[in-house]
Amino acid sequence: GNSVTQMEGPVTLSEEAFLTINCTYTATGYPSLFWYVQYPGEGLQLLLKATKADDKGSNKGFEATYRKETTSFHLEKGSVQVSDSAVYFCALLPATGGGNKLTFGTGTQLKVEL
């Protein structure tokens, strides 16, 4: 079946550090891939997405590239801020089957300190 695997957190970084949160997936064909962010006490918000191989999604300084050969969609940001502290979820939308519903990873908590 379809699944998403994320690196376990929490990830703790100093402000202005480089961020990578790993995400790999299992699915047939070419799913669409998403990153969602959840700030404390809130629901999830769509951060970025990519719909085909080699696409790069980007938003608010974050970016992720759809790598079919490694079935990955790692989230990166060049310089994190305290305000980026949140939980980040990787998700996929299957190309076929799966009832056309999003499958989420378990989430990775990011803590950014001054």
Q: Assess contact for 92 and 2: CB atoms under 8 A.
A: yes
Question: Residues 51 to 90: which contact another protein by CB under 8 A?
Answer: 51, 89
Whether the Cβ atoms of residue 98 and residue 2 lie closer than 8 Å to each other:
yes
43 makes contact with another protein (CB under 8 A): yes
Q: Does the footprint of another protein cover residue 29 (CB under 8 A)? A: no
The answer to the question of residue 40 lying near another protein (CB under 8 A) is no
- Does 7 bind another protein (CB under 8 A)? Our answer is no
Phi-psi region of 51 (alpha: psi -120 to 50; beta: other; left: phi over 0): alpha
Compute the distance between CA of residue 12 and CA of residue 33 in angstroms, rounded to an integer: 25
Under the criterion CB under 8 A, does residue 105 sit at the interface with another protein? yes
Binding segment toward another protein, per CB under 8 A, in 18-26, 52-60, 72-80, 97-105: 97-105
Contact assessment for residue 75 and residue 21, using Cβ atoms and an 8 Å cutoff: yes
- Tally the residues of the chain: 114
Catalog residues that contact another protein under the rule CB under 8 A: 32, 34, 36, 41-46, 49, 51, 89, 93-94, 99-102, 104-107
